[in-house]
Amino acid sequence: MSAPACRRGKYGFLWLIISLTGTYESQSARASDITLDVIGPHEYELPIDFDKPWDILVQYLNGNAAGSMYNTLGQRKAEGGSHTWQGMSKWVHFWKFKGIPNVGFGWELIQVENYVLRNGTNYGGLGPTISGPVVWFKPNRKSTFGMQAFMQTPVGTRDALSTNYWSVNLNLVFDYEWKDFSVDGDVGTVVAATLHETGQHSYTPGTTFYTNLRFSWKASKVAEPFLALDWQNAGGSYDHTAGNWVSDSSSREIALGVGMMFPLTKSLTFTTRYSHSVEGRNTPETNAWFGKIIYVF
């Protein structure tokens, strides 16, 4: 892989890490229900021709103005609106093993920050912490294939920002590069443990399945526009105390978006995107802007 491609691969891997926060936000604070909806172009164009370990620092911010919700019939209603903002501070370390030269490995640590404005009230604080490994290889010089498994802790600095259950995200990722275009994608699932709270019913959240696709045009060395497609289907929650499924607790959503990536220097890049729901059920709409700044060292 050429040096510019390696740099894109480094940036792309961090987009992958950032996007996990879309998976694990608490229900009251999330900017969107769609897992990994923040990935960008070259998300999984990951290098394996590096010799020394390297690291990334990132600060990420998004905001969602969800003025409407989709009801159980899939109808969009102007109710239940909220404004949410989220920041994420993260560090990622990458390396290879000498005995496995054609496979890359990474470990990341993410701390989420949230702020919510809803129904005349507002609150903010730190959300759960996310951590875990990733591994990838290149079937050929134009493509990348990888797997990841990330665990989310159950608590934040306040109850409204805590899920109060452990969960894990497992997925497969891929990338393919043409001369002027690229496509990135993933398919995965989020599985949660049972929620236990003193004096409350015990619930197991439904299993989530999702996919994300990004189609980019390599218009120039300083700007790259792209299209985004995100889909998710979440199963209903089961009430272990009552012994039944919670009504209207399953959900789905499809969102489309447009964005632009700006490689500012060899080590610094910025990506922005806007996305909006086109279909959903039992979920707040996505009406969100995303921004990301990455530093590679």
Tens-level pLDDT at each residue, the chain (297 residues): 333 344 444 444 333 333 344 444 433 333 346 888 878 888 898 899 998 999 988 887 888 888 888 999 998 988 766 788 887 788 889 999 988 989 999 998 888 888 887 666 777 888 888 889 999 999 999 999 999 999 988 888 887 788 888 999 999 999 999 999 999 999 999 999 988 777 888 999 999 999 999 999 999 999 999 999 999 999 999 998 888 999 988 999 999 999 999 988 888 999 999 999 999 999 989 999 998 888 888
Q: Where are the chain's structural domains?
A: 3-296
State the Cα torsion 88-82-195-113 to the nearest 10°. 20
Q: Tell me, what's the pLDDT at 147?
A: 95
| Spatial CA neighbour of 69 closest among 20, 22, 27 | 27
Q: Say if CB 25 and CB 115 are below 8 A apart.
A: no
If one counts every other C-beta atom within 10 angstroms of the C-beta of residue 57, the result is 14
Q: Say if CB 289 and CB 271 are below 8 A apart.
A: no
Helix/strand/coil for 288 = strand
Q: Which residue has the tokens 């990951």?
A: 46
Q: Tell me, what's the pLDDT at 270?
A: 93
DSSP state of 98: T
140: which 2 tokens? 């050929």
CATH topology of domain 3-296: Porin (2.40.160)
Beta strands in the chain (DSSP E): 54-66, 69-70, 76-77, 82-97, 100-118, 121-140, 143-152, 167-177, 181-192, 203-204, 208-217, 224-234, 238-239, 244-245, 251-263, 268-281, 283-284, 287-296
